[in-house]
Amino acid sequence: MKQIVKLKVNGVEQEATVETRHTLLDVLRGEFKLFGAREGCGIGMCGACTVLLDGKPVSSCARCSSTASP
């Protein structure tokens, strides 16, 4: 199943249609081509994929993309 996610990334509104199972990290790297966040453990333990979401650090590998969309 697909869903539309709308995110404000680095001050720019962006929208993409993604699979519901995709993580925030998948969307940032795969759809928006933002490669600063990297996948390490993939289970929310190492911090390699940390991004700021509403000013708070989150592990983007463990965050469903739909929960990051307003």
Residue 41 engages ligand FES in binding (rule: CB under 6 A): yes
Residue 59 engages ligand FES in binding (rule: CB under 6 A): yes
* H helices, E strands: number in the chain: 2, 4
Q: Which positions from 17 through 36 interact with ligand FES, judged by CB under 6 A?
A: none
Identify the residue among 44, 53, 64, 69 touching ligand FES (CB under 6 A): 44
Residue 53 engages ligand FES in binding (rule: CB under 6 A): no
| Measured CA angle at 57 (ends 56, 63), to 5 deg | 105
CB 60 within 8 A of CB 21: no
